[in-house]
Amino acid sequence: MTTHPASICLCVALVTGCFKNIDPGGSSLGDANDSGAASSIACTTTINKTQPADGAVDHYYRDPIVFELSAADSSATVVADIPGQTTVSEDGQQVHFLPDEPLAPDTAYTVSLDYCRGSPAISFSTSSYGAPLEPSTDLEGLLFSFSFSDGDYTIGENAGELIGAVLARPLMIQLQGTDGPYLDVLAAVGKADVSPVEQDTCSRTLLINHVSQGELPFIAGGIEDRVFGAHGGLLRFESFSFTGTIAADGMSLGGVTYDAILGVEELVALLPGFGDESAVCLLAENLEIPCEPCASDSSRSCIHFAAEHITAGFESGSVVEIDAANVHEDCEPESD
């Protein structure tokens, strides 16, 4: 592990607040000096959490550094010795700092926070994701899989039951056509409760093409307005986008994020136990992913969910491209 030559020093001025030296995970963030002891008596705002936590060794190199405050503080500012952008959440309680360039992989960083009671520091290290691909890593045919229930929801964190009912199978993704400046990603549905993961040949596959190799090992791609025959019914992706970073040895895909907008009409037909479209939309609203007019057709309804911090594991073998559901010669319908 290396130490970045210019450690980050983030100074957040909390004019009306203060910071208790307790990390919610139980690790100390360091002792503040006592020079501000007199003014700290009036402090009521605390920093409840930092991302990454003090001592973390797996910070994803493209993730922001986040301070979560117990109360909004309009005076909070971030100063760093590397270029970056500071944003504040709508409720004013999260201060995000995103470096203009990704952090170095497998590198130690120290972040200092200036506030009314001193300047404690958190120390963390990035994971190995972001390191250049090893010369022996052959991208052609690499196959990974992950579950939609993995990671942390950024949209729809309370919607696990609904999303899990729709996307209960693993997603298999295979890299193809890697010789040129772009590659293709073939996405397939895996069978339920089968280990190791095995393709469900009753479901069609989706080809995501024109994925740039210009930022390898980082990849990003997506599709729009695509109907996907799977699970004995149809799913319509108004849009689906993903990002991720290939491990240097090609044995995993880390930092995976996805952002999906699904048509409600197709969900109703797929999940009759959830009721009609009105019932599904009422449920979705209660789960804080309300139905909204679809961008492609405002008379139809869509729901939106997204997640991050997913690791897709390496799988041996390959997937078969299938153009339509329930037509492949190996299709054996499953009873869910």
DSSP line for 138-176: --TT-EEEE-TTSSEEEE-TT-HHHHHHHS-S-EEEEEE
Q: What pLDDT shows up at residue 27?
A: 35
Longest CA span, the chain: 77
pLDDT of residue 44: 75
CA-to-CA dists, residue 296 to 151, 211, 221, 223, angstroms: 29, 23, 19, 13
Q: What is the pLDDT of residue 48?
A: 83
Q: Using only the alpha carbons of the chain, give its radius of gyration.
A: 23
Which residues does residue 217 pair with via DSSP β-bridges, in sequence order? none
Look at residues 254, 230, 228 and name the one whose alpha carbon lies nearest to residue 243: 254
Q: Which residues contact 273 (CB under 8 A, 6 or more apart)?
A: none
Triad 140, 224, 279: Cα angle to 5°:
125
Report pLDDT for 232.
Answer: 65
Q: What is the pLDDT of residue 187?
A: 93
Distance between CA atoms of 47 and 94, rounded to whole angstroms? 10
Cis peptide before 217 (omega within 30 of 0): yes
CA-based angle 251:256:259, to the nearest 5? 150
Torsion sign across C-alpha atoms 290, 296, 297, 300 = negative
Q: Tokens representing 252?
A: 């995993």
Structure tokens at 204: 């069609």
- CB–CB of 144/166 below 8 Å? no
Number of C-beta neighbours around residue 229 at 10 A: 19
For residue 29, give the amino acid letter. Answer: L
Put simply, whether the predicted model's pTM sits higher than 0.85 gets the answer no
> Beta 107-112 vs 2-3: how paired, if at all?
parallel
Token code pair at residue 38: 């007199």
CATH architecture of 1-127: Sandwich (2.60)
pLDDT tens for the chain, residues 1 to 336: 555 544 444 443 333 333 333 333 333 343 444 444 444 457 677 788 888 998 999 999 999 988 888 877 777 776 777 778 888 889 978 888 898 999 999 999 877 766 655 566 778 999 999 999 999 999 999 999 998 888 899 998 887 777 777 777 899 999 999 988 999 999 999 998 899 999 999 989 999 999 999 999 999 999 998 887 766 678 889 999 999 999 999 999 999 999 999 999 988 887 788 889 999 899 889 888 999 999 999 999 999 999 999 999 999 999 999 998 888 998 877 654
